[in-house]
Amino acid sequence: MRTIESLGSLRSRTVIVRCDLNVPLTDGVITDDGRIRASLTTIRELRAAGARVVLISHLGRPKGAPEARYSLRPVAVRMGELLGAPVGFVEETVGAEASAAVGALGEGDVVLLENLRFNPGETSADEQDRRAFAERLAALGDAFVSDGFGVVHRRQASVTELAQLLPSAAGRLVAAELEVLQRLTERPERPYTVVLGGSKVSDKLGVISHLIERVDTLLIGGGMLFTFLAAQGHGVASSLLEADQLDTVRGYLADAEKRGVRIVLPIDVVVAEAFAADADHAVVPADAIESSRFGAAGIGLDIGPASAQAFAEVIAESSTVFWNGPMGVFEMDAFANGTRTLAQALTETDGFTVVGGGDSAAAVRALGFDDDQFGHISTGGGASLEFLEGKQLPGLEVLA
């Protein structure tokens, strides 16, 4: 994969950097700036090399037209604070205003263009539409650096076509993410444990299929655990259940047993009377959810304390741990203990720990943990999962 060194001297050259600055916003306020921080290494290196830096990114899912709630303006402000240098902002992605702003850049200057997805060409299913938009982007720069790992699984104008139109290379974040994922799939130190949470089994089907022959232990939490419990014949009351995945899960359980892979399910669950932060709740055995005082109305919202401790003990014995997906509804304090206990265990193990997926990264930060307490916090989200499924990622292939 081509790296920044392949681009030669960057002094006075205009370098377009595709970042992933898709941060969560509430009323225009950034609630987690992790992706902005992750982009700084490449930006600082380019500035130090004397490049004129043009940042491009998406935010949210606008429908090919401007929407104020998806503006990147707050990101430019926060980027400037973290960078310790002014970051200009342009209220368009391509056009006369963008061209003028880029043309006015000096060595080491940085400007962020408005949300790529305000232009329908960015995500168009038509390759010609994407290429036409990419050509307008390419006209702004002399070289391209792909540093948004969270989008390398997409065929989008700023990911694939733009990389074909300019001298292109992977940024430091993309290179680091790839190195970690290769380590997880090709050369993990053992024992190797994968922890999967989040809401749906269907979101993790490919990951489970691909990793079940590579890991020693799978720990299952989050909403997806109830489909596993149901597959074993246990009632789950009103908890999240994907009934159409029961046979698939039974297949995983049988395959794991045949391979000697441990699948560890919770032994207790925090069950509530409703999906609400102040709902009455109780800890019940995982095989007796429908026997709780809430009956058939009960809904499981976290793994129980005994399960969290058991998971922590497995992690403590592991040399490699990959975690994707919270153990419960961590946004509600009553149902955050499982996720908090797991995160704490990852910070205390001597093994190599990787936190993957936006929800998991947001969870550890929201619960008070620092990024440097873990071996690696991935910005990849869906891209990381697709890599772990064994899929080819077009945004990486184009940099080969």
Annotated binding site: 20-22, 35, 58-61, 117, 154, 204, 300, 331, 357-360
Rounded to an integer, what distance in angstroms lies between the CA atom of residue 49 and that of residue 10?
A: 6
Rounded to an integer, what distance in angstroms lies between the CA atom of residue 285 and that of residue 172?
A: 46
Tell me the torsion sign for CA atoms 248, 321, 286, 330: negative
Amino acid at 317: E
Q: Is 253 strand, coil or helix?
A: helix
Q: Is 323 strand, coil or helix?
A: strand
Is 358 annotated in the active site? yes
* 59, 89 contact by CB (below 8 A): no
Q: Which of the following is catalytic: 148, 222, 358, 395?
A: 358
Binding-site residues for ATP: 204, 300, 331, 357-360
* 336, 301 contact by CB (below 8 A): no
Chain centroid, CA 160 distance in Å: 20
Cis omega (within 30 of 0) on the bond before 66? Answer: no
Binding-site residues for (2R)-3-phosphoglycerate: 35, 117, 154
The residue with tokens 């908890």 is 239
Q: Which of the following is catalytic: 13, 35, 340, 365?
A: 35
Rounded to an integer, what distance in angstroms lies between the CA atom of residue 113 and that of residue 191?
A: 45
The residue with tokens 């938009």 is 133
Q: Which of the following is catalytic: 200, 214, 250, 262?
A: 200
Binding-site residues for substrate: 20-22, 35, 58-61, 117, 154
400 burial via Cβ count (<10 Å: 0-12, 13-18, 19+) = exposed
Tokens coding 160: 């694939």
Is 52 annotated in the active site? no
SS (H, E, C) 271-312: EECCCCCCCCEEEEEHHHHHHCCCHHHCEEEEECHHHHHHHH
The residue with tokens 């080819």 is 392
Contacts of 160 (CB under 8 A, 6+ apart): 130, 154, 394, 395, 398
Catalytic residues: 35, 200, 358, 382
